[in-house]
Amino acid sequence: MAVACSAAFRPSALRLGSLSNAASRSRGIANVRTYAGNGATDLIKSTIDSNKVAVFSKAYCPFCSELKSLLSSELKVDFKCLDLDTMGSEGDSIQASLLPLTGSRTVPQLFISGKYIGGNSDTQALHAQGKLVPMLKEAGVPVNA
Protein backbone atom coordinates (compact mmCIF):
# COMPACT_ATOMS: atom_id res chain seq x y z
CA MET A 1 0.00 0.00 0.00
CA ALA A 2 1.35 3.41 -0.91
CA VAL A 3 1.65 5.91 1.89
CA ALA A 4 2.28 9.63 1.70
CA CYS A 5 3.80 11.94 4.23
CA SER A 6 1.66 15.01 4.76
CA ALA A 7 3.72 16.85 7.35
CA ALA A 8 5.66 19.98 6.44
CA PHE A 9 9.25 19.42 5.33
CA ARG A 10 11.67 20.65 7.99
CA PRO A 11 14.91 21.93 6.45
CA SER A 12 16.40 22.82 9.85
CA ALA A 13 17.33 19.21 10.41
CA LEU A 14 19.21 19.02 7.15
CA ARG A 15 21.64 21.93 7.28
CA LEU A 16 24.78 19.85 7.21
CA GLY A 17 27.00 21.62 4.72
CA SER A 18 30.18 20.59 6.50
CA LEU A 19 29.62 16.88 5.96
CA SER A 20 31.76 15.22 3.33
CA ASN A 21 30.10 13.17 0.62
CA ALA A 22 31.87 10.12 2.00
CA ALA A 23 30.45 10.77 5.43
CA SER A 24 26.96 11.34 4.14
CA ARG A 25 27.15 8.11 2.14
CA SER A 26 28.48 6.11 5.03
CA ARG A 27 26.27 3.49 6.64
CA GLY A 28 26.57 0.96 9.41
CA ILE A 29 27.62 0.42 12.96
CA ALA A 30 31.33 0.94 12.39
CA ASN A 31 30.57 4.58 11.70
CA VAL A 32 28.30 4.82 14.72
CA ARG A 33 31.06 3.56 16.98
CA THR A 34 33.79 5.83 15.66
CA TYR A 35 31.97 9.09 14.92
CA ALA A 36 33.25 11.97 17.07
CA GLY A 37 30.27 12.53 19.29
CA ASN A 38 28.09 15.43 20.26
CA GLY A 39 25.15 15.30 22.68
CA ALA A 40 22.72 14.01 20.08
CA THR A 41 25.19 11.40 18.85
CA ASP A 42 25.77 10.27 22.42
CA LEU A 43 22.02 9.89 22.88
CA ILE A 44 21.77 7.86 19.66
CA LYS A 45 24.62 5.62 20.79
CA SER A 46 23.20 5.09 24.26
CA THR A 47 19.78 4.34 22.77
CA ILE A 48 21.03 1.73 20.32
CA ASP A 49 23.45 0.29 22.88
CA SER A 50 20.81 -0.20 25.56
CA ASN A 51 17.95 -1.42 23.33
CA LYS A 52 18.28 -4.43 21.04
CA VAL A 53 15.68 -2.90 18.76
CA ALA A 54 15.51 0.87 18.42
CA VAL A 55 13.53 3.04 16.02
CA PHE A 56 14.04 6.74 15.36
CA SER A 57 10.65 7.88 14.20
CA LYS A 58 8.18 10.73 13.88
CA ALA A 59 4.72 10.38 15.34
CA TYR A 60 2.94 11.69 12.23
CA CYS A 61 4.97 9.68 9.73
CA PRO A 62 3.01 6.93 7.94
CA PHE A 63 6.20 5.04 7.02
CA CYS A 64 7.11 5.03 10.72
CA SER A 65 3.63 3.75 11.60
CA GLU A 66 4.02 0.91 9.10
CA LEU A 67 7.36 -0.09 10.56
CA LYS A 68 6.14 0.16 14.15
CA SER A 69 3.08 -1.87 13.24
CA LEU A 70 5.24 -4.61 11.69
CA LEU A 71 7.37 -4.78 14.81
CA SER A 72 4.64 -4.50 17.44
CA SER A 73 1.47 -5.95 15.91
CA GLU A 74 2.85 -8.60 13.58
CA LEU A 75 6.11 -9.67 15.18
CA LYS A 76 5.27 -8.72 18.79
CA VAL A 77 8.75 -7.33 19.25
CA ASP A 78 9.61 -4.98 22.11
CA PHE A 79 11.45 -1.93 20.87
CA LYS A 80 12.51 1.51 21.93
CA CYS A 81 11.02 4.31 19.85
CA LEU A 82 12.10 7.94 19.87
CA ASP A 83 9.55 10.17 18.12
CA LEU A 84 11.84 12.99 17.05
CA ASP A 85 9.02 15.40 16.23
CA THR A 86 7.91 15.35 19.86
CA MET A 87 11.37 16.27 21.20
CA GLY A 88 11.71 19.88 20.07
CA SER A 89 15.13 21.02 18.87
CA GLU A 90 16.72 17.89 20.35
CA GLY A 91 14.75 15.84 17.83
CA ASP A 92 16.16 17.97 15.00
CA SER A 93 19.68 17.48 16.37
CA ILE A 94 19.20 13.73 16.59
CA GLN A 95 17.95 13.57 13.00
CA ALA A 96 20.90 15.65 11.84
CA SER A 97 23.30 13.43 13.78
CA LEU A 98 21.79 10.26 12.31
CA LEU A 99 22.68 11.34 8.78
CA PRO A 100 26.45 10.80 8.97
CA LEU A 101 25.90 7.57 10.88
CA THR A 102 23.36 5.96 8.56
CA GLY A 103 23.44 7.96 5.35
CA SER A 104 19.69 8.51 5.62
CA ARG A 105 17.89 11.84 5.88
CA THR A 106 14.50 10.27 6.55
CA VAL A 107 12.67 8.47 9.31
CA PRO A 108 12.04 5.78 10.32
CA GLN A 109 15.54 4.45 11.00
CA LEU A 110 15.72 0.98 12.52
CA PHE A 111 18.66 -0.42 14.49
CA ILE A 112 19.01 -4.02 15.67
CA SER A 113 21.81 -4.74 18.16
CA GLY A 114 23.35 -1.37 17.38
CA LYS A 115 23.46 -2.04 13.64
CA TYR A 116 21.62 0.20 11.21
CA ILE A 117 19.10 -1.89 9.27
CA GLY A 118 17.28 0.73 7.20
CA GLY A 119 14.03 2.58 6.83
CA ASN A 120 10.54 1.21 6.44
CA SER A 121 10.86 0.05 2.83
CA ASP A 122 14.22 -1.62 3.56
CA THR A 123 12.80 -3.39 6.59
CA GLN A 124 9.58 -4.48 4.85
CA ALA A 125 11.72 -5.89 2.03
CA LEU A 126 13.91 -7.79 4.50
CA HIS A 127 10.78 -9.22 6.10
CA ALA A 128 9.31 -10.20 2.72
CA GLN A 129 12.59 -12.00 1.94
CA GLY A 130 12.39 -13.88 5.25
CA LYS A 131 15.51 -12.18 6.58
CA LEU A 132 14.18 -9.92 9.32
CA VAL A 133 12.98 -12.56 11.79
CA PRO A 134 16.32 -14.47 11.71
CA MET A 135 18.09 -11.15 12.25
CA LEU A 136 15.96 -10.45 15.32
CA LYS A 137 16.40 -13.99 16.64
CA GLU A 138 20.15 -13.78 16.09
CA ALA A 139 20.10 -10.65 18.24
CA GLY A 140 18.28 -12.57 20.99
CA VAL A 141 15.03 -10.67 20.53
CA PRO A 142 11.86 -12.66 21.31
CA VAL A 143 9.73 -12.77 18.13
CA ASN A 144 6.23 -14.07 17.61
CA ALA A 145 6.83 -15.64 14.20
Binding positions for ligand GSH, rule: CB under 6 A? 5, 10, 13, 58, 61-63, 106-108, 119-121
Give 11 or 140: the residue with its C-beta nearer to ligand GSH: 11
Q: Would you call 12 exposed, middle or buried from its count of C-beta atoms within 10 A (0-12, 13-18, 19+)? A: exposed
Give 100 or 119: the residue with its C-beta nearer to ligand GSH: 119
Closest approach of ligand GSH to the CB of residue 119, in Å: 3
Closest approach of ligand GSH to the CB of residue 17, in Å: 17
Q: Are 3 and 61 in contact (CB under 8 A)?
A: no
Q: Are strands 53-57 and 109-112 parallel, antiparallel or unpaired?
A: antiparallel
- Rounded Cα distance, 90 and 107, in Å: 15
Closest approach of ligand GSH to the CB of residue 140, in Å: 25
- Rounded Cα distance, 42 and 109, in Å: 16
Give 102 or 120: the residue with its C-beta nearer to ligand GSH: 120
